[in-house]
Amino acid sequence: MAAWRPRKRREFVGKLRGLGFGGPFSGTRHQFVVLGQHRQTIPTHSEYSVPQVRLRLGQVEFILERPVSLEEWSAW
C-alpha cells in the first residue's frame, strides 16, 4: 500500500507534468507550472516535506477540479 512521503523538487514537478501542467517556467521569485489559465507556484526548496506536498496537492486538486488519489499520485 502506498504512503505519503517527502518528494524531491524534480519528482514533484514531473508528477505535475504528468497531470497535464506545462512548465516549469521562470517567474520573478519562484518557478511555476501552468494548466490553462491557472498558475501553480513551485517553491525553490530541493525537497518537500509531506505537509508541503499535501498542501500543494490540495491547490492542484482545486485547479483540476477533481481529487487526486494517493494511488494516482504514487503511480509515476
pLDDT band at 74 (very low <50, low <70, confident <90, very high): confident
Please state the pTM of the whole predicted model. Answer: 0.88
Query: Is pLDDT above 90 for 72?
Result: no
Q: How confident is the model at residue 73 (pLDDT cuts 50, 70, 90)?
A: confident
Q: Is 2 contained in some domain? A: no
CATH code for position 69: 3.30.920
The residues pairing with 31 across neighbouring beta strands, listed in sequence order, are 26, 42
Say which DSSP state 47 is in. Answer: E
Q: Could you give the CA distance from residue 5 to residue 28 in angstroms, rounded to a whole number? A: 29
Q: How many domains is the chain built from?
A: 1
Give yes or no for a contact between 17 and 76, defined as CB atoms under 8 angstroms apart.
no
Instruction: Retrieve residue 39's grid coordinates.
Output: 498558475
> Does some domain include residue 35?
yes
61: Cβ–Cβ under 8 A, 6 or more apart, which residues? 67, 68
pLDDT, one tens digit per residue, over 23-70 is 999 988 889 999 999 999 998 888 999 999 999 999 999 999 999 988
Confirm whether 46 is domain-assigned. yes
- Prior bond of 24 cis (ω within 30°): yes
Give me the pLDDT at residue 76, please.
64
Range of the domain at 27: 7-74
Within a domain: residue 1?
A: no
